[in-house]
Amino acid sequence: MCRHLAYLGDEVSIGTLLTQPAHSLVRQSWEPHRQRHGTVNADGFGVGWYAAGDPVPARYRRSGPIWADPSFADLARVVRTTALLGAVRDATEPGADGEAAAAPFGGGPWLFSHNGSVRGWPGSVAHLVGTLEPEALLGMEARNDAAFVWALALRRLRAGTPLGQSLAETVVALDAAAPGSRLNLLLTDGATIAATTWGDSLWYRTGPAPAGAGTASPAGERSGQRVPDLRELASGGAVVVASEPYDDDPRWVEVPDRTLVTATRAGVRLTPIEHRAAPGGHPGPDGGARATASGAPPGPGPDAPHRSPSAPPPPARPTARGADRPQPVAPGTGHAPHAAPPQHLSPQHKESSP
């Protein structure tokens, strides 16, 4: 389990998001408020961020608790970015991978974090190994479930599948193989954030800043430059997606369970993640079910294993009744009153700049 956060917006210091808020990731490492499994996130931490003109992010990861690393506090104070992903980790099982097991995992332009666990790991998902190329297995950064989840998602991304659909398909394949897994995934390429809720909490925040918000720090006063405070992070089309709010701002919106979040600086979209049988009533080939999370029929999974033509397919898993129809949102809650979460835009904006 872990707590994680991703940000897109105007340039800010890493510390503005990860260390300075009243309930920052540093505080969440020993006192999470909404974490449903585990109580302390002291088994490593990491942050990845993007620099102007370079599509490949930098990463800083350590195997110990975030509060015990004074070098990170110093780095977070001065490094500035327009996009980042940070996480603090609570290991499901002890391991010897050290900082390699700490999110964010990386590959090309992408940063990834997994909050949760794969039930029955590793035996429950052993058959999914056949969906990966040998190079992908040998290149895994760690020998834990999160690194394997990332390998499954990364294969889809490298095949050209969009960020959100890559996560949705990965979640459905893993849930079919290991029901009861907790699969809150977070992914960014520096321009888009994609995230899933599947067994744990997730929130997002975006929208214009209140009139008069903002303060100046002593450093800003000396340099003659005004430094924005946390209330202004949503100005200019910024968005934060996080396991839990880092402050008490009323603009935080809770995401319903089993939902895909796709966010850019232009807006936020929430879409139900569904199990759906493939055409002809047969299940998809890479996990017993297929994901629908973009409003369009899904194509064959890029990491589908080969199946003998004579082998009978397993029975299709039924879609929950009413899951094909968007459900209304309970006013002021962000939650759907029925089992299937709704597909909708954020209450503050409907695909327009905040």
**Contacts (Cβ under 8 Å, ≥6 apart) of 82:** 8, 9, 10, 11, 12, 50, 52, 190
pLDDT at 319: 36
User: Please, what sign has the CA dihedral across residues 95, 99, 102, 108?
Assistant: negative
**Contacts (Cβ under 8 Å, ≥6 apart) of 157:** 107, 108, 110, 163, 166
Q: Give 32's pLDDT tier (boundaries 50, 70, 90).
A: low
**Can you give the residue ranges of every domain in the chain?**
2-272
pLDDT at 325: 33
Q: Which two tokens stand for residue 310?
A: 């004579």
pLDDT at 310: 37
Reply yes or no on whether the pLDDT at 297 is more than 50: no
Reply yes or no on whether the pLDDT at 332 is more than 70: no
Q: Which two tokens stand for residue 269?
A: 């979209």
pLDDT at 215: 37
20 is catalytic: no
Give the pLDDT mean for 301-315. 39
Looking up tokens 């002291």, which residue turns up?
42
Neighbours of 319 (CB within 10 A): 15
Instruction: Tell how many helices (H) and how many strands (E) occur in the chain.
Output: 7, 16
Of 74, 53, 71, 49, give the one whose Cα is nearest residue 62. Answer: 71
pLDDT at 316: 41
pTM (two decimals): 0.73
- Please give the distance of CA 131 from its chain centroid, rounded to a whole number: 22
Per the model's pLDDT, the better-predicted residue between 306 and 96 turns out to be: 96
Q: Which of 26-30, 187-191, 233-237, 344-348 has the lowest mean pLDDT?
A: 344-348
Correct CATH for 2-272 of 3.40.50.1370, 3.40.50.720, 3.60.20.10, 3.40.710.10: 3.60.20.10
Whether residue 228 has a cis bond before it, omega within 30° of 0: no
pLDDT at 299: 39
Per the model's pLDDT, the better-predicted residue between 68 and 334 turns out to be: 68
Percent of the chain at pLDDT > 90 equals 53
Q: Write out pLDDT tens, residues 2-29.
A: 789 999 999 999 999 999 998 788 787 7
**Contacts (Cβ under 8 Å, ≥6 apart) of 124:** 118, 177, 178
Q: Write out pLDDT tens, residues 150-186.
A: 999 999 999 999 999 999 999 999 999 999 999 999 9
Q: Which two tokens stand for residue 137?
A: 């297995």
Looking at 2, 87, 151, 176, which residue is catalytic? Answer: 2
Q: Give 109's pLDDT tier (boundaries 50, 70, 90).
A: very high
Reply yes or no on whether the pLDDT at 305 is more than 80: no
Per the model's pLDDT, the better-predicted residue between 221 and 73 turns out to be: 73
Q: Could you give the CA distance from residue 152 to residue 137 in angstroms, rounded to a whole number?
A: 10
Reply yes or no on whether the pLDDT at 276 is more than 50: yes
pLDDT at 296: 37
Neighbours of 166 (CB within 10 A): 28
Neighbours of 346 (CB within 10 A): 22
Q: Write out pLDDT tens, residues 58-94.
A: 999 998 888 888 899 999 999 999 999 999 876 656 5
Q: Could you give the CA distance from residue 85 to residue 175 in angstroms, rounded to a whole number?
A: 25
Per the model's pLDDT, the better-predicted residue between 44 and 172 turns out to be: 172
Q: Give the helix/strand (H/E) hosting 177.
A: helix 163-177
Give the pLDDT mean for 317-334. 35
Beta bridge partners of 44: none
Q: Could you give the CA distance from residue 264 to residue 262 in angstroms, rounded to a whole number?
A: 7
Q: Which two tokens stand for residue 107?
A: 């590959």
Q: Could you give the CA distance from residue 57 to residue 189 in angstroms, rounded to a whole number?
A: 9
Reply yes or no on whether the pLDDT at 35 is more than 80: no
pLDDT at 288: 43
Q: Could you give the CA distance from residue 203 to residue 189 in angstroms, rounded to a whole number?
A: 19
Percent of the chain at pLDDT > 70 equals 63
